[in-house]
């Protein structure tokens, strides 16, 4: 199984990062994509990806950080896209829900990311909150039909899912689907089989029932099981579908399979997937 979106470089993991990573892979996780969200965070993201062949990196600056300084920082990081450890551009996008950066500055920063992805022929990792029509227009304008990507932690409805899939983009689903499962049944039904991805967004969005704590990649199995139930599929079929989609989007090198070994549960005690 592939966790297509995690932030293990954040301070939330400073006390036990190595154990968190070891636990996830021991439980059966095959690969993880570490998502960069700031210029200052890139060195830590890069170190994680270079230390373990099963960890891959993206390069981008979150829309909450949008502004002239972020644009300059992104331009300064452009050369890092040549690294074989970088499999996507982002996290980028638009966020109208929190208003942490002016809309026009978010648009400028996102457009710059789209241009980088187009030129580097890499997929985009997209953050979208209450901005689907505007982000889709921006992708149409700046992507020129030459970029793909994933709307991570998808928050839209069935209509948005169909629009996104029609443009060839994927959708990532994480712990949020366990909070109100029936809200997600029609949404997941609208997602084509070839467009579904699994993610944790760790340390955020820990799946139910204990959703208030820190999330981590080991919990991806819990989310995958919930999605399988909503789709009426087996967990094995859901995992195989999502893994094939991740390899299609990010490249076959993201799958580094190894047999699971005994591990401690993130909740304490022994655990199994």
Please list the alpha-helical segments (H only) found in the chain. Answer: 17-27, 42-51, 68-77, 103-120, 132-143, 158-166, 181-190, 220-231, 235-250
Q: What is the torsion angle, in degrees rounded to the nearest 10, for the CA atoms of residue 37, residue 39, residue 44 and residue 48?
A: 60
Sign of CA dihedral 81, 93, 37, 194: negative
- The two counts, helices (H) then strands (E), for the chain are 9, 8
Tell whether 91 is in a known binding site: yes
**Residues 84/55, Cβ–Cβ less than 8 Å:** no
Tell whether 152 is in a known binding site: yes
Tell whether 237 is in a known binding site: no
Dmax over Cα atoms in the chain, in whole Å? 51
Please tell me the distance from the alpha carbon of residue 95 to that of residue 75, in angstroms, as a whole number.
22
Three-class SS state of 252: helix
Per-residue burial over 115-138, b = 16 or more CB atoms within 10 Å of its CB, e = otherwise: ebbbebebbbbbbbbebbebbbeb
The DSSP-derived string for 58-90 is EE---GGG-SHHHHHHHHHHGGGGGSTTEEEEE
Q: Which parts are annotated binding residues for a divalent metal cation?
A: 5, 7, 91, 127, 152, 201
Binding-site residues sit at 5, 7, 91, 127, 152, 201
């Amino acid at each position: 199984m592939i966790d297509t979106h995690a932030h293990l470089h954040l301070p939330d993991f400073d006390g036990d990062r190595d154990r968190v990573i070891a636990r996830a892979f021991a439980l059966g996780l095959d690969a993880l994509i570490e998502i960069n969200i700031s210029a200052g965070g890139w060195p830590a993201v890069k170190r994680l990806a270079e230390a373990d062949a099963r960890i891959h990196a993206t390069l981008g600056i979150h829309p909450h950080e949008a502004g002239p300084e972020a644009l300059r920082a992104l331009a300064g990081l452009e050369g890092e896209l040549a690294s074989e450890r970088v499999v996507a551009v982002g996290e980028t996008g638009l966020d109208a829900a929190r208003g942490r950066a002016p809309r026009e500055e978010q648009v400028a920063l996102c457009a710059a990311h789209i241009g980088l992805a187009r030129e580097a022929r890499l997929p985009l990792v997209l953050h979208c909150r209450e901005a689907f029509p505007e982000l889709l227009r921006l992708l149409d304008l700046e992507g020129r039909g030459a970029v793909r990507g994933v709307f991570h932690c998808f928050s839209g409805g069935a209509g948005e899912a169909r629009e996104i899939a029609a443009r060839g983009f994927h959708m990532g689903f994480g712990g949020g689907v366990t909070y109100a499962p029936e809200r997600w049944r029609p949404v997941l039904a609208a997602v084509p089989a070839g467009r579904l991805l699994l993610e944790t967004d760790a340390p955020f969005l820990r799946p139910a029932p204990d959703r208030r704590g820190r999330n981590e990649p080991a919990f991806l199995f819990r989310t995958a099981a919930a999605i399988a139930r909503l789709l009426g599929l087996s967990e094995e079929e859901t995992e195989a579908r999502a893994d094939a989609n991740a390899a299609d989007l990010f490249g076959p090198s993201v799958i580094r399979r190894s047999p699971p070994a005994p591990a401690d549960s993130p909740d304490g005690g022994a655990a199994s997937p």
